[in-house]
Every structure is written in C-alpha cells, then in structure tokens.
Amino acid sequence: MVLAAGAEQAVKRRRFPRLNLLLLTGGLLFAAMLIALFGLPLVVPLDPEALDYAMILTGPSAEHWLGTDALGRDLLARIVYGGHNSLMIGASVMAVTAVAGTVIGLLAGTIRKLDGLLMRSMDVLMAFPALLLALAILAAFGNTALNVVLALSLVYIPRTARIVRGEALVLREQTYVEAAEAIGVSRPRVLFVHILPGILPALMVQETFLFAYAILGEAGLSFVGLGLQPPEPSWGNILGEARSSFQQASWLIVYPGLALGLTVLSLNLLGDGLGQAIDPKRRQR
C-alpha cells in the first residue's frame, strides 16, 4: 500500500509540475496586471487627459512616476486608462468570436449540407492577412471602438470556427450522440447539450489565445492611427504618439510596451497551461 501510494505521488509530480507552473505564472501575472490597472485609480488620482505644459517630456519623478509625454500628460495615467480600453476591446472580441465562431463551427461540423458553404466562407476571410483585413474594414466604416471590435472579430471568427468544427466532427460520431439522435432528440438539443460541452475545453484554450491576439491587433491598429483616436488612450496609440520623441524620451516606448508585452505573455502562458491540462498527450510530454 505504501509503495502504491508512493508510486501514485511520483506520477503526479512527474505529470503536473509544468502545468502548475504555467498556469500559476500566467494567472499571477495577469492578476497582477488587472490589480495594477484597475486598483491604481482607486488609490492615486489619475487623469489621462490633463495637460501640464511646464512638464513636457520630463522623465520619471515623484510627481509623475513614469514621466510625461509631448503634451505634458502623465504617462502612468495614460497607460492605466489605455489598458482599460485595450482590455475592454480584447474581451469584447473574445466574446464575439466565441459565440459566432461556435455557432458557425457547430453548424458546419454537424450539418453536412452547410459544411462546404460555411467553411469556404471562413477560408476566404482567412486568405487575407489579419491586420490588413481589419485595416480595410476600419478605413471603410470608420475607426470607432465598436468598429474596431467588429473588424477584429470578423478577422478572428474563422479561427474559432475551424477549431469548433474539428471537434464537432469527432464528437458527432460518438455513441452517445448517435443514441440521442436515434431516440429522436431534437437537433438543437443534440448540438448544445450533447456536443457543445465536449467542445468547451478546446474553445477555452482557443479564446485565451484570441484574447491576446485581439489586444495585439488593437494595439497595431491604434499604432497606425486606425484604432482608438487620441485623446482617448490605448496602448497602441500611446506607442504611436511616441514615435516622434522616443529618442529623447525612451520611457514613452519602454513602459507602455512593457505593459502590453506582460499582458500578452500572461495570456499566452494561461492558454498554454490550459492546453496542457486539457490535452493528455501534451500533459504527458
């Protein structure tokens, strides 16, 4: 009994240390970013649009912890509130792609007559470079926050749809699904009660990565001037505004870039950790 217990503990130690490390590191890092972004305004007065012409392009100091930009605005305040906007857009894109991509993938994976039409439509969207397609959509319809969300969602929906379709193709052949169809269970119930729960683990992993992609996509669009428009801050337009003065004020690039990089890194670690937790083959490796 003692030997069996020891062997079981050894297997657990061998199987889960990397998984725990990835999830723990990603979770703690993302939680730290959320606490900093949403907790700082509660304890420190921050105004991202306040102008101080006497403090233009001054470095980090007791008054301005991360320095100021070319208009004398506090960089810390702009990073914090820009993070609010970037995360809001990223979360909105993740939600839209999860819902729309799941519906399209379920229909394509379970209804053969719709499979070709839906997947060829997704292939057309995926044929264009993601950022280029989003730029074209924003140039045509305007660069409001809502249009940024819609443009990025349209770009990333095919990725979710393909993942869901692949899982649905496997699950529809399972015995319990065939049994449900044989006894006359309605198709919507088969889709959302018998097939969808089996897809959720893979969907969670995919959407974690898409959250990071959406934040990077919004930053890229805002950097070139087609995302959120100043004075409304986002990490992308903060970096875009710094192009003309970063040689004499390096903090304008370093700190917002660090915030963006750490947030994306934490989400990638979370996604990788979830993938190892859900996929037994990856977990064993």
d(CA 235, CA 229): 11
CA separation, residue 126 to residues 95, 155, 160, 162, 222 (Å): 19, 7, 11, 11, 22
Mean pLDDT for the stretch of residues 36-58: 89
Give yes or no for a contact between 75 and 85, defined as CB atoms under 8 angstroms apart: no
User: Is pLDDT above 90 for 210?
Assistant: yes
User: Alpha helix (H) ranges present in 130-250?
Assistant: 130-141, 145-171, 175-182, 187-189, 196-223, 235-241
User: Is pLDDT above 90 for 38?
Assistant: yes
User: Is pLDDT above 70 for 280?
Assistant: no
User: What is the predicted pLDDT for the residue at 9?
Assistant: 45
User: What is the predicted pLDDT for the residue at 3?
Assistant: 36
The 3-state DSSP class for residue 280 equals helix
User: Is pLDDT above 80 for 43?
Assistant: yes
d(CA 1, CA 111): 52
What does pLDDT average to over the chain? 86
- Lowest-pLDDT range of 103-107, 150-154, 246-250, 279-283: 279-283
The 3-state DSSP class for residue 44 equals coil
d(CA 160, CA 37): 29
Mean pLDDT for the stretch of residues 105-120: 90
Top-ranked range on mean pLDDT: pick from 41-45, 138-142, 216-220: 216-220
Mean pLDDT for the stretch of residues 79-83: 95
User: Is pLDDT above 60 for 232?
Assistant: yes
User: What is the predicted pLDDT for the residue at 94?
Assistant: 95
Give yes or no for a contact between 206 and 270, defined as CB atoms under 8 angstroms apart: no
Give yes or no for a contact between 39 and 76, defined as CB atoms under 8 angstroms apart: no
User: What is the predicted pLDDT for the residue at 14?
Assistant: 41
User: What is the predicted pLDDT for the residue at 266?
Assistant: 95
d(CA 61, CA 58): 8
CATH 2.30.110.20 at 58-284, yes or no: no
Give yes or no for a contact between 42 and 275, defined as CB atoms under 8 angstroms apart: no
Give yes or no for a contact between 34 and 42, defined as CB atoms under 8 angstroms apart: no
Q: 138-193 pLDDT, tens per residue?
A: 988 888 889 999 999 999 999 999 999 999 998 888 888 888 878 888 877 888 88
User: What is the predicted pLDDT for the residue at 194?
Assistant: 84
Beta-bridged to residue 112, according to DSSP, are none
What's the pTM? 0.86
Mean pLDDT for the stretch of residues 55-77: 90
